[in-house]
Chain A
């Protein structure tokens, strides 16, 4: 029994992962969950682009007015996700402190 336990567990996990992958929405579909959660499913693609207010479409449409930045990527990572970038910088700084505390030589 102990021999076949990894095989059984592997089969269960593999099947569950394959089922999840098969239930994915097609890429680029505006009705995909996460892309447009509250878009009514009877709307066509053109109507979605014009009327729906999902997160991704909101960023595309309102990022110049919200942030004043021309580059949407900068507007996203430095304004909408500014906490993430702040902690990312702090993580880099913490890595430097760790390196200096282990292999740092004398103060110069």
Chain B
């Protein structure tokens, strides 16, 4: 009885929920594989990041928004998205510090310089893929959850307090110095 009541909280069927629960870790692992093997196989930071973001989006679609938001809060996502870009730029600045141009790769001797074709090779490409993957994963997830949290237009005309906007067009028109 308790489980039946709990199942009624969601709008999706139990098949969708159980398959999502099984598939989400594998989608994430596939995304990490695409990112880490970016310099060896087709794929890379963008594709792997989108795959990781898709696993969180699938979770939110199968369950509900609040369950997904517990796993991916807004503030850490934004921080990690900027960290990815900082990692990219730091790799570029290391190239300058080693005495070469911005984003110098092989000549600067950065990072794992393994055998050609191994996992730990590629130098700066390895770290650049990690940074781009981190950024794209966080940004795609944050985009989806941000658009989910916007209230529908038919809802927010009833009461002014429920408006999600901090500034509204009426305020802008009132304070516009060019109006008068």
Q: How far is the CA of A86 from the CA of B136 in the complex (A)?
A: 12
A64 interface contact, C-beta 8 A: yes
Contact of B139 (CB < 8 Å), options: A67, A71, A92: A92
Contact of B88 (CB < 8 Å), options: A75, A86, A108: A86
Q: Mark A62-73, 1 if CB is under 8 A from B, else 0.
A: 001111111101
Are B125 and A74 in contact, CB atoms less than 8 angstroms apart? yes
Q: How far is the CA of A86 from the CA of B116 in the complex (A)?
A: 25
CB-based nearest B residue for A81: B103
Task: Decide yes or no: A64 and B150 within 8 Å by CB, A69-B39, A86-B103, A90-B85 being known contacts.
Answer: no
Q: From DSSP, what is the main secondary structure of chain B's interface residues?
A: helix
Task: Decide yes or no: A70 and B40 within 8 Å by CB, A100-B146, A103-B164, A103-B165 being known contacts.
Answer: yes
Contact of A68 (CB < 8 Å), options: B73, B121, B139, B142: B121
Are B146 and A103 in contact, CB atoms less than 8 angstroms apart? yes
CB-based nearest B residue for A64: B116
Q: How far is the CA of A96 from the CA of B144 in the complex (A)?
A: 10
CB-based nearest A residue for B151: A105
Task: Decide yes or no: A68 and B74 within 8 Å by CB, A78-B128, A86-B88, A103-B147 being known contacts.
Answer: no
Give the contact-size bracket for chain A: 20 to 34
Q: How far is the CA of A69 from the CA of B139 in the complex (A)?
A: 27
**Across-interface contacts of A64 in B (CB, < 8 A):** 116
What 10 additional pairs, Cβ within 8 angstroms, besides A102-B165, A103-B147? A70-B40, A78-B129, A82-B92, A82-B103, A85-B128, A86-B103, A89-B135, A96-B139, A96-B143, A107-B75
Residues of A participating in the B interface, judged by any CB pair closer than 8 Å: 64-71, 73-75, 77-79, 82-83, 85-86, 89-90, 92-93, 95-96, 99-100, 102-105, 107-108
